Amino acid sequence: METGNITRAAEQLFVAQPALGMQIRQLEQTLGVSLLSRHSRGVSPTRAGQVLYERACEILRLLDETEREVTAAGRVEREGIVLGLTNGFMNMVGRDLILRSRHDLPAVTLSLVEERSVVLVDALERHEIDIALAYEVHERPGLLRVPLVEEEILFVSAASKMDHDQLHEPIEFSELAAHGLVLPGQRDGVRQQVLATAKRLALELNVMLDVSSISMMKNMVAHGDAAAVMPFGNAIDDIESGRIAGRRIVNPTLKRTLYLVRSRRRAPFKYENELLELLAATSVQFAERLGPLAKRLEALDQPLSATLAALLVHAQDKP
């Protein structure tokens, strides 16, 4: 259900694809119903399959919650939570988040994982992290997501190659074609948005190199080897020091959305509400530091715990 593909599911479970397919067929025979519809793109659930999936998620959450309560009964222990953050968010407000968590969540051991959004979502689905703040998270059966902040993406280039008058002027998207660009790897959301926009405008970009390392991208930009498109948070130190220059992109503006994401299958933590409110406050701080590059979304004007609870109820009620 969560991968939409038996082959990918088998890879995540570390079993052979034929063996997994046989298990599914045996389950269908035992229940006397078809659970999955097979098609060229993979699989999708039948109505019976959707019902079974919803009940399975509920059962797994109860098992997880029961284990936590039994383990914690009769003794006081710190609760461990693994939080996934992107590089830009960590650069801008990561230190504040850590310091505030020590003060506001003394009974929680908060572990931070810094990765690209696509990696964080994969880790969530493998239950390697508990909650994440990630960009452009598409709807998936096993995930709950809440949009928090809409953020503009910048064009960055070597400051020494720009006239002072240009430093704060926006750049037309069509002007990107005049620059050699270094872009992140194939699965990166910023790269996909840049290329999709260029295709829509019938514009051919000069992509010189694919580089998955943010520090290497910035180093190449600073030395004038290429220009790039990246979020302000990824380049904040270099922009503020004058090592590279960042300009807003217009016609069209490139934007992305920051989501709070967690698995539907995971039982709530004891201090989850407190953590969610801390993440909401830190996201507000993040948006404020971005200034005109950011727009706070509606979810930040109400308790995140209530929003997630409503999403969970809605997901369980869906046919």
Q: How far is CA 174 from CA 206, 245, 247, in A?
A: 12, 18, 14
Q: What is the share, in percent, of the chain residues with pLDDT greater than 90?
A: 49
Reading the block at residue 139, the tokens are 């709807």
Q: Is 313 exposed, middle or buried (0-12, 13-18, 19+ CB in 10 A)?
A: exposed
Go through the domains of the chain in sequence order and give each one's CATH number. 6-70 (1.10.10.10), 77-149+258-317 (3.40.190.10), 151-255 (3.40.190.290)
pTM of the model: 0.75
pLDDT at 287: 95
Distance (Å, whole) CA 221 – CA 205: 17
Compute CA 98 distance to the chain's CA centroid, rounded to the nearest angstrom: 19
CB 182 within 8 A of CB 218: no
Task: For the chain, give percent helix, strand, coil, nearest 5.
Answer: 50, 25, 25
Q: What pLDDT is attached to residue 87?
A: 92
> Cα(259)–Cα(24) distance, rounded to whole angstroms?
33
Is residue 216 classed as helix, strand or coil in its secondary structure? helix
d(CA 153, CA 170) in angstroms, rounded, equals 12
Q: How far is CA 115 from each of CA 83, 129, 213, 225, 283, rounded to the nearest angstrom?
A: 11, 11, 11, 25, 17
Least Cα distance to 162 among 245, 249, 218, 240 occurs for 245
Q: Can you list the residues of the chain whose pLDDT is less than 70?
A: 72-78, 161-168, 311-319
Angle at 144 between CA 13 and CA 316, to 5 degrees: 90
pLDDT digits (tens, 9 = 90+) for 30-78: 999 999 988 888 888 899 988 898 888 888 888 887 877 777 665 556 6
Per residue in 261-303, pLDDT (tens digit) is 988 878 788 888 889 999 999 999 999 999 999 999 998 888 8
